[in-house]
Structure formats: structure tokens, C-alpha cells
């Protein structure tokens, strides 16, 4: 069978679908603007979630319940029933709203006092850490590093920049409140527990604490996310600041004592305790301490540095010994040891490594 073709062979053109209209962007804003708006709204929603508070009546009920349990724990502490006191303080903590950092720090300070009585040093340090973290949120002591200013997309003149910075400084100073109440409250810093009304009653403050020092300090607001917390710190009354300072001092004292007492005496614990006592040595804290606690701080600053040096030398020697044993295990199959290598310090302070073939008994014996 044969096929006969006439004319050139042609391939039919493919059928193309009809072209529709170009899609029209429904978002009038560029993607970068939309993305930034989404991230901003997400950050604001997270911030609003963490800043959520109970209604006033519910918060008052929870606070009253916590204070009642705290009073029971104080009674147990006075009867030297420290384990039961810790349990009751924990129940008082559970009743507190999580955002009441000062009240939480008071309870953590009391729990730390119980652990010190029971010689539970590690638990005492943990309680002090929690309390100090809460007080740092309530009234920060560490100034944050200023962030570099980003370039604005809108051109601004120098006069506008100067005016804006001037307004910011003025607002920052206007937010600082000074109290006209010159009365000072007296109290004990070396007591083991806080009374049930220590956070509301004017029963104890730090003599010699000058509120003007804190009011005159420059407060930096690092970012929009921290603006609300910084403004809240500015609005704290002098009485509240004195209470926070008093509890912070107690927590530093108790943490320093616990770190010194921990066994074994490690370089980390002793150096951390030394830092606590150095903080307490500053006039801001030392002037508020009673004489017995001042003597404790001075004595610690004398006895701790040699202990820190000895612990450091011991730990470094132990580490070098372990490294030497590891090196000998690696070099032994080759008939060598770490004694065949000597490290010498040059005049410029650098070190050089040299090989000594006849050293140290690391070779094989015949």
C-alpha cells in the first residue's frame, strides 16, 4: 500500500486560548508597606496580650488572698517551720497576678530566707534571681545602649530635627515626678521576712536614700516596645521606689550569702558572690544598710578575692590536667607524651611550642 501526497505538507497552527485582561492589584500599598504593617500589628497584639490585666475587683480579690496566705507563712516562719512556710509562700505566689512584680519579689525574698535557714543554698539563689528579675522589670537599674537612628524616608530640615529632639527631652523630664513629701520611713533591712503589709504600709525604708538621685537620672526609652514599661517606671512614686530598693537590697544580701555558702566553692559561685557584694558596696546600697550588714559586706570584700583566686587556680589546674591526660592518650601509640612538648613564653608576651625528643619518659622503655 502506498500513499500519494500532493503539495507541501503543512502543520496546523496551535489554537491559543483567548488572552484575558491583566490582573489589577487590589492592594493600593506596596508589599513592603503591607509587610511592615502586618509585623507592627503582630507586635502590638503580642504586647497587648502580655500587658493584659485582670479587672480591678478581681485583682483586689487575688491580692487580698495572697496577702492572707503570706501572713500565714510569716507566722510559720516565726515558729521556725520553714518547710511549711515555703509551701504557703508558694501558694501566695500562685494567687498573685503574674504582672505584680513587686509583690512577687517580696514573696521570693521570703522564700529565699527560708531556704537560707534550711541551708538550701542553690534554691535560695534561684529564689533571689526570680525576685531580682521581677524588680528589674518594675524599676530597671541597667541602662540600655542607645540605638542608632534610622534614616527617615521623608526629608527633614535641621530645624525640625532639633525641635523634635528638644521636645523629646522635655517630655522625658516632664515624665519624671518629684515628691514633695520629705518624710523618711525607718525600718530593718536585715529582717528575715517581710510583714504582711510591707508593700502598702510605711513601715520600713532606707535611711539616707536620696530620691533626687533617681529622679534626676536620665531615663532612656530604647524602643516603642519598651515605651510603656519605661513610662510606668517614671510614674512610680518615691515611696514605691524606696520599697523596691529595700527589697532589692535584701535579695542581693541573701543571694551573696547563699553563693558564698555553696559547696564546693567554685570559681563561678565565688566570683558571682563577689559581684553581689561589690554592688552592695556602692553608696546607693551601703548607706541604707544597718551596721551589721555593712560589716558583712566589708568582710566579704576582704575575704572573697583570695578565695576567688584560689578557686580559679584550682579549676585551671584541674582543666590542664584533664587536657594533659587526653593528650597523653592520643600520643601514647606514637611513643610520645605531652612532656615531649614545651611551651615557652617569649619576650613579647607570646608563646612558642618546641619539641624535646628526650624529655619526660614518654618514650617506650626497652
C-alpha torsion sign, points 103, 105, 109, 111 = positive
Euclidean distance between CA atoms 39 and 128, whole angstroms: 36
Q: How confident is the model at residue 23 (pLDDT cuts 50, 70, 90)?
A: low
> What are phi and psi for residue 354, nearest 5 degrees?
-125, 155
More reliable by pLDDT, 359 or 128: 128
Residues 153-168 pLDDT 10s: 454 544 545 444 444 4
Q: What is the pTM of this model?
A: 0.60
Looking at residue 167, what is its pLDDT?
Answer: 46
Euclidean distance between CA atoms 19 and 361, whole angstroms: 89
More reliable by pLDDT, 172 or 159: 159
Mean pLDDT estimate for the chain: 74
Contact status, residue 362 vs residue 336, Cβ threshold 8 Å: yes
Q: Quote the DSSP letter at residue 363.
A: S
> Is the pLDDT assigned to residue 197 strictly greater than 80?
no
> Is the pLDDT assigned to residue 352 strictly greater than 60?
yes
3-state secondary structure of 342: strand
Domains and CATH numbers, the chain: 59-141+185-215+225-302 (1.25.40.10)
Q: How confident is the model at residue 199 (pLDDT cuts 50, 70, 90)?
A: very low
Euclidean distance between CA atoms 130 and 108, whole angstroms: 7
Range from 90-99, 136-145, 157-166, 169-178 carrying the lowest mean pLDDT: 169-178
Torsion of CA 190, 192, 193, 195, to 10 degrees: -50
Bridge partners of residue 353, in order along the sequence: 343
Torsion of CA 320, 260, 125, 197, to 10 degrees: -170
Average pLDDT over residues 268-291: 95
Cell of 108: 521570693
Cell of 260: 558564698
Residues 75-84 pLDDT 10s: 999 999 999 9
More reliable by pLDDT, 15 or 256: 256
Give 199-224 as a DSSP string: TTSS----TT--HHHHHTSPPP---S
Euclidean distance between CA atoms 300 and 75, whole angstroms: 32
Euclidean distance between CA atoms 233 and 235, whole angstroms: 5
Average pLDDT over residues 309-327: 88
Range from 134-143, 180-189, 313-322 carrying the lowest mean pLDDT: 180-189
The rounded percent of the chain whose pLDDT value lies above 90 is 43
Cell of 310: 584560689
Residues 31-64 pLDDT 10s: 555 555 555 555 555 545 456 889 999 999 999 9
Looking at residue 110, what is its pLDDT?
Answer: 98
3-state secondary structure of 351: strand
Looking at residue 327, what is its pLDDT?
Answer: 84
Max mean pLDDT among 3-17, 169-183, 301-315 falls in 301-315
Max mean pLDDT among 19-33, 151-165, 339-353 falls in 339-353
Amino acid at each position: 500500500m502506498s500513499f500519494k501526497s500532493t503539495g507541501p505538507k503543512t502543520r496546523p497552527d496551535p489554537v491559543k486560548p483567548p488572552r484575558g485582561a491583566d490582573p489589577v492589584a487590589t492592594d493600593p500599598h506596596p508589599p513592603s508597606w503591607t509587610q511592615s504593617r502586618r509585623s507592627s500589628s503582630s507586635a502590638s497584639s503580642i504586647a497587648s496580650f502580655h500587658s493584659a490585666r485582670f479587672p480591678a475587683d478581681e485583682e483586689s480579690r487575688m491580692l487580698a488572698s495572697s496577702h492572707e496566705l503570706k501572713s500565714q507563712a510569716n507566722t510559720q516562719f516565726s515558729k521556725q517551720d520553714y518547710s511549711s512556710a515555703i509551701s504557703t509562700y508558694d501558694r501566695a505566689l500562685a494567687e498573685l497576678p503574674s504582672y505584680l512584680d513587686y509583690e512577687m519579689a517580696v514573696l521570693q525574698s521570703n522564700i529565699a530566707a527560708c531556704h537560707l535557714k534550711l541551708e538550701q543554698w542553690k534554691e535560695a539563689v534561684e529564689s533571689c534571681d526570680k525576685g531580682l528579675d521581677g524588680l528589674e522589670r518594675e524599676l530597671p537599674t541597667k541602662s540600655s545602649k542607645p540605638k542608632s537612628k534610622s534614616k527617615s524616608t521623608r526629608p527633614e530640615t535641621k530645624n525640625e530635627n532639633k525641635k523634635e529632639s528638644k521636645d523629646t527631652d522635655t517630655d522625658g523630664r516632664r515624665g519624671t515626678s518629684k515628691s514633695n513629701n520629705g518624710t523618711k520611713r525607718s525600718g530593718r533591712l536585715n529582717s528575715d521576712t517581710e510583714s504582711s503589709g510591707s508593700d502598702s504600709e510605711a513601715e520600713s525604708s532606707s535611711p539616707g536614700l536620696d530620691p533626687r538621685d533617681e529622679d534626676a537620672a536620665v531615663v532612656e526609652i530604647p524602643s516603642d516596645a519598651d515605651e510603656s514599661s519605661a513610662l510606668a517606671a517614671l510614674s512610680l512614686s518615691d515611696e514605691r521606689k524606696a520599697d523596691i530598693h529595700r527589697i532589692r537590697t535584701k535579695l542581693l544580701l541573701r543571694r551573696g550569702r547563699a553563693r558564698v555558702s555553696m559547696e564546693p566553692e567554685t570559681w563561678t559561685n565565688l566570683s558571682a558572690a563577689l559581684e553581689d557584694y561589690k554592688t552592695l558596696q556602692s553608696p546607693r546600697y551601703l548607706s541604707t544598710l544597718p551596721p551589721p550588714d555593712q560589716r558583712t559586706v566589708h568582710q566579704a570584700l576582704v575575704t572573697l578575692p583570695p578565695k576567688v583566686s584560689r578557686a580559679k587556680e584550682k579549676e585551671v589546674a584541674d582543666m590542664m590536667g584533664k587536657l594533659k591526660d587526653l593528650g597523653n592518650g592520643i600520643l601514647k601509640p606514637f611513643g610520645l607524651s605531652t612532656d615531649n612538648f614545651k611551651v615557652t613564653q617569649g619576650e613579647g608576651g607570646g608563646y612558642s611550642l618546641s619539641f624535646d625528643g628526650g624529655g619526660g619518659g614518654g618514650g617506650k622503655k626497652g
